[in-house]
């Protein structure tokens, strides 16, 4: 079954958005100190971080990777669909 180009682009953007978020959060987790990394992760994942910002350590990292990754994946997919629809309307 062949998917339409807009759906393929949205799925690709979803995957890339999730992977870029994962790489960014893991990089912040490894390079920032114990005091600053929670703040940086909270800003990266705002507003979904309000659900798990009270956590520390590995639970914070896990929730950030899952919930924040899903948030950014959905944002990337929606932006891809929106951009595709605006380009198609102009042609």
Taking only the tens place, the pLDDT of each residue in 13-63 is 999 999 999 999 999 999 998 788 999 999 999 999 999 999 999 999 999
Q: pTM, whole model, 2 decimals?
A: 0.87
Question: Quick one: tokens of 60?
Answer: 């914070």
Distance CA 65, CA 82 (A): 25
| Token pair recorded at residue 73 | 């994946």
Q: Length of the chain, please?
A: 91
36 contacts: CB under 8 Å, gap ≥ 6: none
């Amino acid at each position: 079954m062949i998917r339409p180009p807009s759906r393929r682009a949205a799925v690709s953007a979803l995957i890339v958005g999730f992977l870029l978020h994962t790489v960014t959060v893991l990089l912040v987790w490894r390079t920032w100190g114990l005091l600053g990394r929670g703040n940086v992760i909270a800003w990266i994942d705002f507003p979904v971080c309000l659900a798990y910002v009270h956590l520390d350590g590995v639970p914070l990292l896990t929730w950030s990777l899952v919930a924040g990754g899903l948030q950014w994946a959905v944002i990337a997919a929606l932006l891809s669909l929106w951009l595709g629809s605006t380009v198609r309307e102009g042609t």
